[in-house]
Amino acid sequence: MKTLTEIVMPKLAESLVSATIDRWLKQPGDMISMYEPICEVITNKVNAEIPSTVEGRLVSILAKDGEDVPVGAPICVIEAIDDTAGASVSAPSSSAVSTASSQSSEDNEQDIPAEGDMRGRYSPAVQRIAAEQGVDLQLVRGTGLGGRVTRKDVLAYAASGQPKATVAAEAVKDATTKTEKAPLRTTGLHLSETPRIPQIEVESEIPGRGEYFIDITPIRNAIARNVKQSVTEIPHAWMMIEVDVTNLVQLRNKLKDEFKKREGVNLTYLAFVLKAVVNAVKDYPIINSTWATDKIIVKRDINISLAVGTEDSVATPVIKNADQKNIAGIAHEIDDLARRGREGKLTLADMSGGTLTVNNTGSFGSILSYPTIVYPQAVNLTFESIVKRPVVINDMIGVRSMANMCLSLDHRILDGVICGRFLQRVKENLESFSLDTKLY
Domain ranges of the chain: 1-100, 116-181, 220-431
Predicted confidence band of residue 190 (pLDDT cuts 50, 70, 90): very low
What CATH number does the domain located at 220-431 have? 3.30.559.10
Asked if residues 30 and 334 have their Cβ atoms less than 8 Å apart, the reply is no
Average pLDDT, the chain: 80
What is the length of the chain?
A: 440
Give, rounded to a whole angstrom, the gap between the first and last alpha carbons of the chain: 60
The CA distance from 383 to 210, in Å, is 38
Cα 331 from Cα 271, distance rounded (Å): 5
Measured CA to CA, the distance from residue 305 to residue 355 in angstroms comes to: 7
High-pLDDT (> 70) share of the chain, % = 75
Asked about 415 being catalytic, the answer comes back as: yes
Average pLDDT value for residue range 107-125: 50
Q: What confidence tens digit (pLDDT) does each residue in 138-177 have?
A: 788 887 666 778 777 888 888 887 765 544 444 444 444 4
Q: Which pLDDT band, with edges at 50, 70 and 90, does 133 fall under?
A: confident
User: What CATH number labels 116-181?
Assistant: 4.10.320.10
Tell me if residue 190 is catalytic: no
Tell me how far CA of residue 344 lies from CA of 23, 224, 317, 320, in angstroms: 14, 19, 11, 19
pLDDT for 193 equals 46
What is the C-alpha separation between 340 and 349, in angstroms, rounded? 13
The tens digit of pLDDT for each residue in 38-88 reads 998 887 666 778 888 888 999 999 998 888 899 889 999 999 875 444 344
CATH of domain 1-100: 2.40.50.100
Q: Catalytic: which of 136, 174, 415, 436?
A: 415
pLDDT in tens, 316-351: 899 999 999 999 999 999 999 988 888 878 888 888
Torsions phi, psi for 120 (to 5 deg): -95, 5
Greater model confidence, 201 or 153: 153
